Amino acid sequence: MDLKHRKKLAAMHRIQEAALDLFEEQGFDAVAIEAVAAAAEVSPRTVYRYFGTKEMLVIWDEADEFPVSPLAAEFAVADPIGMLRGTFRAAFAAMDEAQLRLIRRRVALIYRTPAIEAAYLLHSYEKSRAIAAAVGPASGDAFGTEVFVHAFVGAVVGAMRHWCHSGFATPPFTFVDQALTLLEHGFGKRAAP
């Protein structure tokens, strides 16, 4: 990787770190981009060039940069839930404590701040639709694929939200796993307790 690219990534991490510190301390709305830029020792213009919007300072995740594994396609048609479960399990298992801590900080800010949550929801749907567009045509059911992808994003967002509001007590995969199981079996009639 280029020296330029490495410097840019390092700067993005420094800027995001500074932003999270300030947002946690003073609240998202009370912090101006100028303050973030000053704390990270870059110009405000650079913050916008790198992140585009203020919300992206929280939403941005380096892992999102990598393209979806082409392997996904072959699993997608027959057993989409199983494929997604495996992907999430692997992703969470590969994280060290530092990465997990970063995710917790970001998730807490996302669900505490409506403006960030809105941007995050759109971001999630757009990413998922991109995956669906790459994988979907093989299924031959555009409508079903679209509804599935949207329901899936909704379920995962709900799971992450619950993880956040439960104080991050249990590992995140627990919640995602349970949410996927619910999605797998459907929400038909349930016996009254």
Q: Tell which one of 16, 18, 22, 54 touches DNA (CB under 7 A).
A: 54
131 class by beta-carbon count within 10 Å (0-12 exposed, 13-18 middle, 19+ buried) = middle
Task: Find out whether 162 and 147 touch, Cβ atoms under 8 Å.
Answer: no
Residue with tokens 């801590």: 101
In eight-state DSSP terms, residue 139 is G
Identity of the residue, 64 or 126, whose beta carbon is nearer to its own copies in the bound complex: 126
d(CA 54, CA 79) in angstroms, rounded, equals 37
DSSP three-state, residue 190? coil
- Name the minimum Å distance from CB 58 to DNA: 11
Residue with tokens 């949550």: 117
Q: Tell which one of 1, 3, 78, 94 touches its own copies (CB under 8 A).
A: 78
Task: Find out whether 164 and 116 touch, Cβ atoms under 8 Å.
Answer: no
Residue with tokens 């627990």: 174
Q: Taking the alpha carbons of 20, 25, 28, 30 in that order, is the dihedral positive or negative?
A: negative
Q: Is 63 one of the binding residues for its own copies (CB under 8 A)? A: no
- Name the minimum Å distance from CB 127 to its own copies: 13
Footprint on residues 107-166 left by its own copies (CB under 8 A)? 114, 117-119, 121-122, 125-126, 139-140, 142-144, 146-155, 157-159, 161-162
Which has the closest alpha carbon to 168: 65, 80, 97, 115? 97
Identity of the residue, 43 or 170, whose beta carbon is nearer to its own copies in the bound complex: 170
Binding mask 20-39 for DNA (x = CB under 7 A): -----------xxxx-----
- Name the minimum Å distance from CB 61 to DNA: 18
Task: Find out whether 48 and 83 touch, Cβ atoms under 8 Å.
Answer: no
Q: Is 11 one of the binding residues for DNA (CB under 7 A)? A: yes
Footprint on residues 55-114 left by DNA (CB under 7 A)? 55
Name the token pair of 124: 């999630």
Q: Tell which one of 49, 89, 101, 165 touches DNA (CB under 7 A).
A: 49
Contacting residues toward its own copies, per CB under 8 A: 77-82, 114, 117-119, 121-122, 125-126, 139-140, 142-144, 146-155, 157-159, 161-162, 175, 178-179, 182-193
Chain residues in the site for DNA (CB under 7 A): 2-4, 7-8, 11, 31-34, 42-43, 45-46, 48-49, 52-55
